[in-house]
């Protein structure tokens, strides 16, 4: 795939940064590719640049605190907000006094004919910018970057030609953004996404505290799985584990639905169970808090009339998490049975969906960049 040449720094601009460190999180490779673009452009401006995968926390060193150091924070947008691992990474990052920073969220772009439809990162960019500003960073810019939508739990991967067109368009946008940032100018883009994200905040909060756990418990390995455990080794969050000798992989609550396992499985054996999703949705919707508190007020009438909404919400939340955990345990056991495995495989649409990963992002490059964890057993 050919890309335009890197833009030369404007001659009338002051000297740029001497060091650029880009912290990134990635699933199917979209953000990894964009982070490499930024690294290449930084090196083209004369800076020393490096990429750091945030998943490997013990190996991450804080940035050098100097005016010549620019730190980038790049991650996919999930649920119209920053994905949880990057949000926690930003909160835990050490304070600085002199560093500058930029924030980029890759978002789900699609293309219909000649029409490019942008994704939506919501408040993610500006929330990250606020956190980093409070940490002492001088914020130089934020950008929402459209890359091919990869949410294969919902839709098939995009056609290769459409994906390539979106990637090329994203490359050009990245060059313009980098041309400003690396020349010590500011670039605060996508304010419309922030404004659109404000009314979606309830959705984003629900995703962070419930939706991502629900989605994590939809993945399973179909009868095509040969127990190679590549998905276990590739998971950036260590969320896919080897449940036992000869058993199919097991997805924990640490799963962020980044789609890497589904994208890179050589057998295309990783599915998202739409049918199990319906069952879980029905069970987790049971108002356990209302039932429990109703029974308590009948036995203890003095509780009636008190403010119990918060208690009811908390009970419902714990019930939903517990129900998902237990249902998935049962579901995982059933996957060892020939009949149930095919039943759930043939009642999910992902078995016919086209798989997608960023075409220039190879497994070897991801492994080398992230130094994945060794295989884990429960």
- Taken in order of first residue, the domains within the chain and their CATH numbers are 19-197 (3.40.50.360), 210-370 (no CATH)
pLDDT of residue 261: 94
pLDDT of residue 149: 96
Find, among 179, 238, 262, 222, the residue nearest to 55 by Cα: 238
Residue ranges for the chain with pLDDT beneath 70: 1-15, 56-62, 296-309, 371-378
> What region does 177 belong to: left with phi over 0, alpha with psi -120 to 50, or beta?
alpha
pLDDT of residue 367: 76
pLDDT of residue 1: 42
Q: Other CB atoms closer than 10 Å to residue 330's CB: what's the count?
A: 10
pLDDT of residue 60: 64
Task: Please name the residues in contact with 322: beta carbons below 8 A apart, sequence gap of 6 or more.
Answer: none
In this prediction the pTM is: 0.88
pLDDT of residue 8: 46
Report the chain's C-alpha Rg in angstroms: 23
Mean of the per-residue pLDDT values for the chain?
A: 88
What are the angstrom distances between the C-alpha of 259 and each of 17, 83, 155, 272, 320? 34, 13, 12, 10, 23
Which tens digits make up the pLDDT trace of 249-286?
A: 999 999 999 999 999 999 999 999 999 999 999 999 98
Q: Other CB atoms closer than 10 Å to residue 237's CB: what's the count?
A: 19
Q: Give the separation between CA 24 and CA 74, rounded to whole angstroms.
A: 5
Which tens digits make up the pLDDT trace of 177-223?
A: 999 999 989 999 988 999 999 999 999 999 999 999 999 999 999 99
């Amino acid at each position: 795939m050919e890309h335009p040449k890197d833009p030369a720094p404007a001659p009338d601009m002051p000297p740029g940064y001497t060091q650029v460190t880009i912290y990134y999180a990635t699933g199917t490779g979209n953000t990894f590719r964009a982070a490499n673009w930024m690294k290449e452009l930084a090196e083209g401006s004369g800076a020393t640049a490096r990429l750091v995968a945030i998943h490997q926390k013990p190996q991450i060193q804080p940035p050098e605190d100097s005016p010549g150091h620019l730190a980038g924070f790049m991650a996919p947008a999930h649920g119209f907000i920053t994905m949880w691992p990057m949000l926690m990474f930003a909160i835990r990052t050490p304070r600085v006094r002199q560093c500058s920073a930029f924030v980029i969220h890759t978002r789900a772009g699609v293309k219909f004919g000649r029409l490019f439809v942008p994704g939506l990162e919501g408040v993610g960019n500006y929330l990250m910018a606020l956190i980093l500003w409070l940490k002492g960073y001088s914020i130089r810019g934020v950008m929402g970057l459209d890359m091919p939508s990869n949410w294969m739990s919902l839709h098939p991967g995009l056609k290769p030609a459409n994906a390539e067109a979106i990637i090329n368009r994203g490359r050009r946008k990245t060059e313009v953004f980098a041309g400003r940032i690396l020349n010590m100018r500011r670039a605060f883009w996508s304010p419309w996404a922030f404004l659109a994200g404000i009314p979606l905040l309830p959705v984003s909060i629900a995703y962070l505290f419930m939706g991502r756990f629900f989605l994590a418990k939809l993945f399973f390995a179909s009868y095509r799985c040969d127990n190679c455990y590549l998905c276990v080794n590739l998971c950036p969050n260590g969320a896919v584990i080897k449940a036992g000798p000869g058993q199919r992989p097991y997805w924990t609550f640490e799963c962020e639905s980044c789609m890497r396992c589904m994208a890179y499985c050589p057998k295309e054996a990783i599915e998202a169970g739409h049918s199990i999703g319906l069952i879980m949705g029905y069970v987790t919707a049971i108002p356990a808090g209302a039932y429990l508190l109703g029974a308590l007020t009948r036995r203890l009438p003095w509780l009636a009339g008190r403010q119990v909404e918060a208690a009811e919400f908390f009970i419902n939340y714990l019930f939903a998490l517990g129900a998902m955990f237990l249902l998935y345990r049962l579901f995982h056991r059933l996957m060892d049975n020939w009949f149930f495995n095919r039943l759930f495989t043939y009642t999910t649409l992902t078995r016919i969906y086209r798989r997608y990963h960023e075409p220039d992002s190879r497994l070897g490059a991801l492994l080398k960049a992230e130094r994945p964890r060794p295989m884990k057993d429960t």
